[in-house]
C-alpha cells in the first residue's frame, strides 16, 4: 500500500527530510521539513502527522517547530522513544550557526502534545565547529537504554566557510539519563570523503552500526561497541549503491523471523530514484532480502518496523520534495517463507 501524505501547495513549496517512527503503543509518527522555497536555508516549519490505525488514516498536520524571521530555518528533525515511553524530538535552527541552536522537545502522550523547547547546543561543541545537523531520519534507544542520534558537522579547523556543508565528519549525540543531558561522542575516523548524513541501529551482538552517506557512489559504514566512541574507520560498502542521498536503517526483532537489519535508499549510483528496501539476516554478511518500493521515483527515505502489525513503513521524497510518499510493506512480502 502506498499513499501521498504531503503534497506541494499554496503554503509550502517543498516537503523535505522525512522521518518516521512507530511508538510502543503502535502509533505511526511522520515528520518532515515544510519549506517555503526549495533550498536548505529556506523559511520552513517542521510538521508532524499521526496514525493510530497502521497508516490507514492520518491526523491533520501539526507544527512542532516553526521558522521565524530571525531563525527562518528549522532543520533536520529526529525523533526517538525511550524505554519509559517518552518521545524525544531534536532539531536545529539555521544548522546551529550564527546564534542558531540545537533544541529538544518531548512528548509523553504519543506525540499529541509537546514540551517547550530546551536548548542542548552545549552538547554540540560549538567552539570547534561550524554547521551542525542531526541525522536526519530517526534516532534509537539501545537495549542498554542509551539514546543515540547521529550527527554530521564541519569543523572550524577545516577552513571551510561557516555555511559550507563540507568537508564533513560524523558522530553521535547520546544521553544516558533519558534525555535529561546530552553529550557528543567521538568523531568517526574515515576512509571516505565527507561522511555526512547517517542512520544507526543495533546489531544482534550489541554493536552499533552506522550507515553513512558520503561522496562515493555507494554507502559507507562504521561499527562501534558503545555507539559513542571506538568507531571503526568509515569505509565504503560496494553492495549498497547510492546517489549521494540520505538512506536509513532499522533493526527488526519480532520472534518470528531472524534478527534483521533493514536498509532503504535510492538503489542507484547516479539518480534519486528506485527506492529499494533490503534486509540482512546474518549480521551484515549479506543483504539477502530485497523489495522494490518505487522504481520510478525517490529521494531521502526513512523507515520504521511495526512488529505488532508485521510490516515495515517507508516515508520517502518524490521530485525533490514536491511530494512525500508513505509505503507499507508486510513482512510476508519481504521474508521468503523458507526463511521464516
Residues 6+ apart with CB under 8 A from 293: 2, 264, 275, 276, 277, 314, 316, 327, 329
Label residue 119 exposed, middle or buried (CB < 10 Å: 0-12, 13-18, 19+).
exposed
Closest to 28 in 3D by CA, of 311, 332, 337, 320: 311
Q: Is the pLDDT of residue 136 over 70?
A: yes
C-alpha cell at 182: 546530552
Tell me, what's the pLDDT at 1?
84
Taking residues 286-296, what's their average pLDDT? 98
pLDDT band at 179 (very low <50, low <70, confident <90, very high): very high
The string over 95-118, giving b where at least 16 C-beta atoms fall within 10 Å of a residue's C-beta and e elsewhere, is bbbeebbbbbbbbeebbeebeeee
CA distance 20 to 301: 9
CB 307 within 8 A of CB 24: no
CB 293 within 8 A of CB 275: yes
CA distance 217 to 296: 19
C-alpha distance from residue 216 to each of 184, 219, 268, 295, 340 (Å): 26, 7, 12, 22, 35
DSSP for 8-66? --SS-SEEEEEEEEE-TTS-EEEEEEEESSSSTTS-EEEEEEEESSTTSS-PPPEEEEE
Instruction: Specify which residues 316 forms β-bridges with.
Output: 301, 325
Q: Is the four-CA dihedral 19, 90, 96, 196 of positive or negative sign? A: negative
CB 32 within 8 A of CB 324: yes
3-state secondary structure (DSSP) of residue 6:
strand
CA distance 18 to 4: 13
Mean pLDDT score of the chain, rounded to an integer?
A: 97
Q: Is the pLDDT of residue 165 over 70?
A: yes
Tell me, what's the pLDDT at 112?
98
CB 194 within 8 A of CB 215: yes
Task: Beginning with the edge strand found earlier in the chain, give each strand of the sheet holding 198-202 in spatial order.
Answer: 198-202, 208-212, 218-224, 235-241
3-state secondary structure (DSSP) of residue 92:
strand
Tell me, what's the pLDDT at 336?
84
H or E segment to which residue 333 belongs: helix 331-334
Over the stretch 214-266, which tens digit does the pLDDT of each residue have?
Answer: 999 999 999 999 999 999 999 999 999 999 999 999 999 999 999 999 999 99
Tell me, what's the pLDDT at 312?
98
Over the stretch 8-23, which tens digit does the pLDDT of each residue have?
Answer: 999 999 999 999 999 9
Q: Is the pLDDT of residue 56 over 50?
A: yes
Looking at per-residue confidence, does 8 or 1 come out higher? 8
Q: Is the pLDDT of residue 340 over 80?
A: no
Q: Is the pLDDT of residue 338 over 70?
A: no
Residues 6+ apart with CB under 8 A from 282: 258, 288
Taking residues 197-202, what's their average pLDDT? 98
For cell 527515505, the residue is: 301
Q: SS3 helix, strand, coil % of the chain, rounded to 5?
A: 5, 45, 50
Amino acid at each position: 500500500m502506498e499513499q501521498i501524505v504531503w503534497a506541494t501547495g499554496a503554503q509550502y513549496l517543498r516537503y523535505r527530510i522525512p522521518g518516521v517512527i512507530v511508538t510502543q503503543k503502535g502509533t505511526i509518527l511522520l515528520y518532515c521539513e515544510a519549506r517555503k522555497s526549495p533550498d536548505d536555508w529556506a523559511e520552513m516549519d517542521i510538521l508532524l502527522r499521526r496514525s493510530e490505525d497502521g497508516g490507514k488514516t492520518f491526523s491533520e498536520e501539526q507544527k512542532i517547530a516553526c521558522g521565524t524571521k530571525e531563525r527562518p530555518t528549522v532543520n533536520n528533525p529526529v525523533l526517538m522513544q525511550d524505554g519509559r515511553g517518552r518521545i524525544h524530538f531534536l532539531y536545529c535552527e539555521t544548522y546551529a550557526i550564527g546564534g542558531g541552536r540545537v533544541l529538544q522537545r518531548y512528548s509523553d502522550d504519543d506525540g499529541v502534545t509537546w514540551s517547550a523547547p530546551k536548548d542542548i547546543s552545549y552538547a554540540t561543541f560549538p567552539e570547534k565547529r561550524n554547521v551542525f545537523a542531526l541525522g536526519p531520519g530517526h534516532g534509537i534507544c539501545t537495549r542498554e537504554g542509551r539514546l543515540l542520534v547521529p550527527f554530521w558537522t564541519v569543523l572550524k579547523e577545516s577552513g571551510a566557510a561557516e555555511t559550507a556543508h563540507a568537508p564533513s565528519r560524523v558522530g553521535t549525540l547520546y544521553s544516558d539519563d533519558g534525555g535529561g543531558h546530552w553529550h557528543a561522542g567521538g568523531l568517526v575516523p574515515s576512509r571516505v570523503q565527507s561522511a555526512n548524513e547517517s542512520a544507526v541501529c543495533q546489531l544482534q551482538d550489541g554493536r552499533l552500526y552506522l550507515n553513512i552517506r558520503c561522496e562515493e557512489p555507494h554507502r559507507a559504514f562504521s561499527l562501534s561497541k558503545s555507539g559513542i566512541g571506538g568507531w571503526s574507520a568509515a569505509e565504503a560498502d560496494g553492495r549498497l549503491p547510492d546517489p549521494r542521498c540520505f538512506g536509513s536503517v532499522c533493526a527488526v526483532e519480532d520472534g518470528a523471523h531472524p534478527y534483521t537489519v533493514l536498509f532503504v535508499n535510492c538503489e542507484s549510483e547516479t539518480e534519486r530514484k528506485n527506492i529499494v528496501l533490503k534486509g540482512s539476516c546474518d549480521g551484515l554478511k549479506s543483504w539477502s532480502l530485497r523489495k522494490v518500493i518505487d522504481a520510478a521515483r525517490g529521494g531521502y527515505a526513512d523507515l520504521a518496523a511495526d512488529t505488532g502489525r508485521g510490516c515495515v513503513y517507508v516515508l520517502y521524497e518524490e521530485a525533490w520534495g514536491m511530494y512525500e510518499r508513505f509505503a507499507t510493506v508486510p513482512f510476508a512480502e519481504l521474508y521468503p517463507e523458507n526463511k521464516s
